[in-house]
A = this chain, B = another copy of it.
Amino acid sequence: MEKIITLDYGSGGKKTSSLIENYIVPAFRNDALAQLGDGAILAGHERLVFSTDSFVVSPYVFPGGDIGKLAVCGTVNDIAVSGGDPKYLSLALIIEEGFPENDLARIIESASKAAENAGVQVVTGDTKVVERGRGDGIYINTSGIGFLAHAGLSPENIREGDTVLVSGNVGDHGAAVMLARNKNLVEGEILSDCADISGLAKALRPLGRDLRVMRDPTRGGVATTLCEFVEDRSAGSTAAQNPENAGAAQRIKNAPCGIELFEKEIPVSPMVAAACDILGLDPLYCANEGKLLAVVAKERAGEALALLRGTPGGENAAVIGTVTKAHPGKVTVQTPYGGSRILTKLAGAQLPRIC
């Protein structure tokens, strides 16, 4: 049977990783790509940070935002969590024939506002139109350039005893989009958390090297992002196959660790918890589009929490876990009843086209 691409290749979970590791990284072998960060840090060039993301969210207007705002915030956030100050964006549209001009105007307006609020300029763009039935309204790619302000952030810095923080309630975007697709399932409205988190990322800069790594847990949610933090890349990874790759050598230095989450400390809004119950989703696997996940040195955890809580959008920040050597490479969550379960990277296509 011919192997084909299925929806779960786009879930941000296991299949996406396998596609990237089997096809993309080997084909384009280089240090910047092999880091597999949200943004590539281009050594030696005024410390550039470069990132790209295509947005195919359905529906393209959802409670709390639309694909225009999402496309700007998404790339701004990828640069911010890479330690960069986002500065320039590109904006490329793939529009389906028959798309209402009014919707286009609304989306552009909302992208424009988001860019202004984030202090970034959209400096280049592209527009393509495909026939009816060859798209779904509108898809948007944004790529972004930023300048590195906080160097050295990487999962390879994580060590035993470190503390895991999240900047606020988990799962809002995923739940909002799923409810927008399944109207009348739950009373009331859940808003996407779609927002620029560069302020939150910047707030943690005083931590210096005690800030190990940051990421915005989008597709695959908090669970998948944390799995990526601790997965053992020493076996079979492109980076490790290349002995000249200093990054790979350094990454292995502090491995292997695991992460232990405390379920009762993870902030989830009651509405999102209820919606996830009904939809059969786990908030830990639901996409976030305005949350920051950070690992910091234990001694600075209190300071980090205060810095996040003192920044707009971080009022509900929480310490949610700790780095352990008890189960290297694994993420577990302690339930309030004393039990514990293992979180793996998202398998299957739980939430296709969530962003």
Contacts and interface: CB of A to CB of B under 8 A. Distances in A.
Interface magnitude class on chain A: 35 or more
A104 B23 contact: yes
A135 interface: yes
Given A127-B19, A130-B136, A4 B51 contact: no
Nearest to A99: B5
A32 B92 contact: no
A337 interface: no
A139 interface: yes
Task: Describe A's contact surface by its main secondary structure.
Answer: mixed
Interface string A50-63: 11111110000000
A186 interface: no
Given A4-B100, A23-B105, A33-B123, A143 B16 contact: no
A55 B50 CA distance: 20
Interface stretch (A108-116, A162-170, A189-197, A260-268): A108-116
B40 A123 contact: yes
Interface in A2-31: 2-11, 16, 19-20, 23-24, 27-28, 30
Nearest to A55: B128
A95 B5 contact: yes
Interface of A: 2-11, 16, 19-20, 23-24, 27-28, 30, 32-33, 39-40, 42, 45-46, 48, 50-56, 87-88, 90-102, 104-105, 108-109, 111-112, 115, 121-131, 133-136, 139, 141, 143, 145, 147, 349, 352-353
5 contacts: A19-B127, A28-B111, A33-B121, A50-B123, A54-B94
Q: Which 8 A-B pairs have the closest CB atoms?
A: A10-B129, A143-B143, A52-B90, A40-B123, A27-B112, A141-B141, A28-B122, A32-B123
